[in-house]
A and B are shown apart, each in its own frame.
Chain A
Amino acid sequence: MTRKMLVVGEVKDNTLRHVSFETIAAAMNIADGGEIVGVLFGENLTSHAKAMIHYGADRIITVEREELADYTTDAYSQAFLQVYEQEKPNGIILAHTSVGKDLAPRLAAKLNNGLVSDVVAIENDSGTPVFTRPIYSGKAFEKKIMEEGIIFATIRPNNIPARTEDLSRTGTITSMDVELKDLRTTIKEVVKKTTDGVDLAEANIIVAGGRGVKSAEGFKPLEQLADVLGAAIGASRGACDAEYCEYSLQIGQTGKVVTPDLYIAAGISGAIQHLAGMSNAKVIVAINKDPEAPIFDVADYGIVGDLFEVIPMLTEECKNVTT
C-alpha cells in the first residue's frame, strides 16, 4: 500500500543535517510510491528545502519563525501538530537526535499513537514495515511493527543510507503560518563545546580514549589524530570518571551508542558496558598495552603497544596518505 509520509529536516547552525536525507530514504521505503512531504522549521529555509527535494522529497513545507530557530518542545510540537493536521499523513519519520528524542514521544502521546525509537533498519516487503532497533545498547536487537494508528519512528543517524542526490529533481515549496502560544521554555544561551562541529552520533570516524590516556593532557595526541581524520573524540566511562574529559563524550551503555565507519579505541580495555556502545561500528581498531584486553576480541585490527608511541605515528602516517 502507498503511504503519504511526513519527515522533518533538521537544521543546526544553518546547516541541514545529513540525517535529514536519511529520514527521507526511510520514509520512501515505507511510502511505497506515496508522497514524501518534508517539513522545515526556523529561518532561511529555501536552500535546505531544495536539498531535501534533491534527496527524494516530493514537496516541502517551510515554517519560518524566529521562535523556531532553536528547538524548544512547546514551539516545535505546536508547529508540527498544525502541519500534521493540515497534511494528515499515514506516517512520520524523525531523526533519533536530541530534537527527535525530545519531540517524537511528546507527539506520539498527543496523537495517542505508538512510536518505534532509534531504528537502524527498515524492511517493507510485505507492506507492513518491520523496524529493527538495538536493545541493551546494541548487545541485542529487536524487530517491531506498529499494531495500529499511523507509522511513527525515529531513525538513528548513520544507519539507513540516504538516496543519491539528484539535482534535476523538482518539487513545490510552500510556506505555512502557524500559531505559537504559551511557550514555556526560553533558551538563554547555547555554548558550543564541540570545537570542530563533529557530533559523536553522526561522526563517520571516532577516536576514543580510555583510562590508558592517563590525564586530560593525554587526550591531546588523540585530538591531533582526530583533526587529521576529521573525526570526533569519544571516551570510555573510565576516562570520564577519572575526569580526563567531559561526560558528554562517554560511549557505552550509560553513554552514547555510536555506529561510525571507523572506531579507534586507544587505551580502552573494553569493559562489556563500553563494548555495548561501540561494537557495532563497521571497523574497529584497538591500541592497547595489554594483549589480553577484551577490546581485542571485537577489534578488526589491533596493535599491542603504548598509545603515546602509536597514536603520534598513526597521525603522521595518516597525514601522509590523506593529503
Chain B
Amino acid sequence: MNIFVIMKRTFDTEEKVVIENGSIDEEDVEFIINPYDEYALEEAIVLRDKHDGTVTVVTVGEEEAEKELRTALAMGVDQAVLLDIEELEGEVDHYSVSEVLAAYFIDKEIDIILGGNVAVDDGSGQVAPRVAEKLGINQVTTITKIEVEDRDVKIEREVEGDVEYVEASLPLVVTCQQGLNEPRYPSLPGIMKAKKKPLETIDVDELDLDEKKIEAKTNTLDRFLPPEKQAGKVLQGETKDQVRELVGLLRNESKVI
C-alpha cells in the first residue's frame, strides 16, 4: 500500500499564546506534531504493518519542521518529505497549502492519505478535504475506526456524538479523530533508525506550480487575545446555602436558566 500522511507542525497545546503587533510570538515556544496528525501517523503505521507498503509523511513548512518529521520517522514512518515554502512571499492560507500538496501528490500512486481532523493552531480543517478534491479522491472525515480489505474500506466516523458506519474504497483521503488509536511514543531504537531514514526537502519552485497561482485567497487583518476574564465570585457559607445562592445568581443575574 502507498500510504501518505499529511502532517502539520503546531504550537504545543500547553503553550500560552502571546501576540505582538497582530502576530503570534513564536519565540521560546515548544512545537509539536499536531495532536490529530499523531492519530493519522499511528494509523498509517498500523495499516502498513498489516498490508505492507510504505508510509510517507509530508509537511508544508520550513526547515524547522524537520524535527517533527524526524519524530514521525522515529515512530515508524518510512520516509519524510518537506515541501519548503520559505521562498514564498506574502500570506499563505489553506488554499495555498493545498495547492502545494496537490502539486506534490499529482504524479504519485496513492492508496490512502491520512490527515488530522483539524490542526490545533488554526482549527479550520480545510487542507485534507481540499487536497482530496484537487486529486479527485473520495474523502471520509473524523474517523474513529478503519479496516481495509483489498480495495474495500470499512470506516466508523464520529458525527456530533453519533457513530456512522460507512463503506468506501481506495484510493481515499481520511481525517483522524481521537478515539481512533493510541499514538505510540518513538522508541530509542526508533530514534536511532530515524536518523538514517530518507528525509527529502523539495523547494516549492521545484514543483510544477505557478507562484502567482498559489497566492492566498484570504487575508488576515489582525490577531488579538480575548478580553481577560474577571476573577469570578467564589461563594461562601454552608454548601446548601451556596447552592441556593448559585441558582439564584444563574436565574436572576446572568439569566441563563
A-B interaction: yes
Nearest CB to that of A295 among chain B residues? B232
Interface of A, helix, strand, loop or mixed by DSSP: mixed
A residues within 8 A CB of B35? 254
A247, A250, A301, A317 interface centre (most CB from chain B within 10 Å): A301
How far apart are the CA atoms of A134 and B144 in the complex, in Å? Answer: 25
Q: Complex: how many Å from CA A247 to CA B117?
A: 14
Chain A proximity of B185: nearest CB distance (Å):
15
Q: Is B219 an interface residue (CB 8 A)?
A: yes
The interface-forming segment of B76-84, B156-164, B203-211 is B156-164
> How many Å lie between the Cα of A104 and that of B165 in the bound state?
22
Q: Say yes or no for A22: interface residue by CB 8 A criterion.
A: no
Kindly list chain B residues whose C-beta atoms are within 8 Å of the C-beta of A313: 239-240, 243
B134-168 interface code vs A (CB 8 A; 1 in, 0 out):
10001111101000000000000011111111111
* B186 CB, min distance to chain A CBs, angstroms: 19
Query: B159-198 CB contact bits vs A (8 Å, 1 = yes)?
Result: 1111111111100000001110000000000000000000
Q: Compute how far the CA of A140 lies from the CA of B22 in the bound complex, rounded to whole angstroms.
A: 11
A/B pair count, beta carbons within 8 Å: 266
How far, in Å, is B12 (CB) from chain A's closest CB?
9
A285–B250 touching, CB < 8 Å: yes
Q: Report chain B residues within 8 Å CB of A279.
A: 226, 229
Complex alpha-carbon distance, A317 and B250, angstroms: 12
State whether A142 touches B235 (Cβ < 8 A): no
Taking CB atoms, residues of chain B closer than 8 Å to A130 are 221
The answer to whether B226 and A193 have CB atoms under 8 Å apart is no
Given A108-B130, A141-B224, A191-B163, CB of A273 within 8 Å of CB of B246: no
On chain A, the residues within 8 Å of B226 by CB distance are 138-141, 279-280
Q: Is A1 an interface residue (CB 8 A)?
A: no
The number of residues on chain A lying at the interface, defined by a beta carbon within 8 Å of a beta carbon of chain B, is 98
B212 at the interface (CB under 8 A from A): no
Distance in Å: Cβ of A319 to nearest Cβ of chain B: 10
Instruction: Tell me whether A254 and B120 are in contact (CB under 8 A).
Output: yes
Q: Is the CB of B254 within 8 A of A114?
A: no
B121 interface contact, C-beta 8 A: yes
Indicate if B222 sits at the interface (CB-CB under 8 A): yes
Known A-B contacts A136-B121, A313-B239, A313-B240; the reply to A298 vs B13 at CB < 8 A is: no
Q: Give Cα A184–Cα B220 distance, bound, in whole angstroms.
A: 36
Say whether, besides A139-B16, A254-B178, A97 and B121 are in contact (CB < 8 Å): no
Query: Which of A106, A143, A149 is B132 in contact with, Cβ under 8 Å?
Result: A106
The interface of chain B, by Cβ under 8 A from chain A, is 11, 13-14, 16-17, 19, 24, 35-36, 93-95, 98, 120-134, 138-142, 144, 158-169, 177-179, 215-226, 229, 231-235, 239-240, 242-244, 246-247, 249-251, 254, 256-257
